[in-house]
Amino acid sequence: MEMLCASVRNDLQNNDTPTAVSKIKELLEDQKNIPLNIAITGETGSGKSSFVNSFRGLTDDDEGAAPTGVTETTLEITSYPHPKYPSVTSWDLPGMGTTKFPADKYLKLVGFEKFDFFIIISADRFTENDVKLAQEIQRMEKKFYYVRSKVDNDINAERRKRNFNKETTLTQIREDCIQSLKKQGVESPQVFLVSSFGPHLYDFSLLQKTLDKELPEHQRDALLFATSSISLEIINKKKAAFQSRIKYYAALSAAAGGVPIPLLHATIDLSMMAAVVTEYVNGFDLDKPSLERLGANTGVPYSDLCDVMKSSLAKQEIDKGQIMKVLTSFAQTAVLQATGEAAKWIPVFGIAAGMSLSFCSTYTALNYFLDTLAEDALKVYERALSVNK
């Protein structure tokens, strides 16, 4: 990053604005297109396809969802790019031990090398085949994670009992899986309990946190943005990741110019800003399809989720006119001003005096949009969970 800033500063000082703009755009595109390939495997009926759909923010009957059913639906190795972040791909793998995919040739047949990590799913106890697969993955120095699926079915079955306790039931399920793995020679296994129909519940967010900690640094944001906003920690991490890019967008706006904003006396690239705000809306899952799915998963009406949001930019297509309207309103209320936080980046990029107001205006505006939408994401999350408290 420091080398990029120095290079851009040199270009701007030499009046080579097109090259400076090109370098910043290339960096931002590279950040948004880091590939991440996730292998999902397990025996027939374990819930692999539903997990793939849930991870991608889809329900089983959404367009583009992996097919699910009571019989084996994964007969071939199938890739499912994330609908919002297509560089992140979930691979739905056939179960190991079938005639077409025998255990001793499984990893070779599925193309082991192309996957960054494996998720081994079971709807009950983990089998001998699951353990053999994990051992082979470990031998080849890649990561794997045990996921116990369909936990909601177990909870609903136990709920009928007079002495039902949810936390006790979850502890029993987890301990049963762990003991089963230990008996098969697995040392200190960690098992994540999930329900693909309630990703905001149980261990989904813990799984994401573990992956975030163990992935290479350059892939963490790719995973983060592809993960639904199912916890306060994920929302805050997304906000921090978005915020780290604002200085580059502000430099782009200052260098490329754009549309004069009344009362600001600065030109701003409204098309760029509309695209960035759209990224915020999609990243925080505040787009209409995501809100409707969250409502369906939690039982909270879509209208109730919308009611808690402050921003008028969520739930809809964002265009330059909407951005202009908000910016003009900011200027009238003196919300937009050259702040110290924005100004500190001007010498770093070598922003010329004539561009500095546009840089600060864009920087401050994008921070305002980000703060507002992150706050809305937190409110939506809290409202969605309110029925489960």
pLDDT of residue 261: 58
d(CA 8, CA 14): 10
Residues 6+ apart with CB under 8 A from 261: 267, 268, 324, 327, 328, 331, 361
Strand ranges inside 177-242, DSSP E: 191-193
pLDDT of residue 31: 85
Cβ(335)–Cβ(307) below 8 Å: no
Q: For 49, how many CA atoms within 13 A lie in the half-sphere containing its CB?
A: 22
pLDDT tier at 386, thresholds 50, 70, 90:
confident
Residues 6+ apart with CB under 8 A from 109: 100, 101
Q: pLDDT tens digit string along 182-210?
A: 888 888 888 999 988 888 788 988 999 99
Q: pLDDT tens digit string along 1-43?
A: 556 666 766 766 666 677 777 877 888 888 889 999 999 998 8
Q: Parse the chain into domains and list their residue ranges.
A: 2-31+237-388, 35-228
Residue 387 CA: distances (Å) to CA of 44, 66, 155, 162, 376: 33, 29, 17, 22, 18
pLDDT of residue 360: 79
Mean pLDDT on 150-168: 86
pLDDT tier at 335, thresholds 50, 70, 90:
very low
Q: Does domain 35-228 have CATH number 3.40.1390.40?
A: no
- Collapsing DSSP states into helix, strand and coil, what is residue 123? coil
Output the pTM of the full model.
0.85
Please name every residue paired with 265 in a beta bridge, in sequence order, or none if there are none: none
The enclosing H or E element of 145 equals strand 143-148
d(CA 71, CA 157): 22
The enclosing H or E element of 120 equals strand 117-122
Residues 6+ apart with CB under 8 A from 97: 43, 103, 106, 129
pLDDT of residue 310: 87
Would you state the structure tokens that stand for residue 352, as one six-digit string? 């010329």
- Other Cβ atoms less than 10 A from the Cβ of 129: the count is 17
Mean pLDDT on 319-341: 68
d(CA 267, CA 265): 7
Mean pLDDT on 361-387: 89
Is it the case that residue 363 has pLDDT exceeding 80?
Answer: yes
pLDDT of residue 111: 86
C-alpha 59 chain-centroid distance? 16
Q: pLDDT tens digit string along 100-126?
A: 777 778 888 888 899 999 999 998 888
pLDDT tier at 320, thresholds 50, 70, 90:
confident
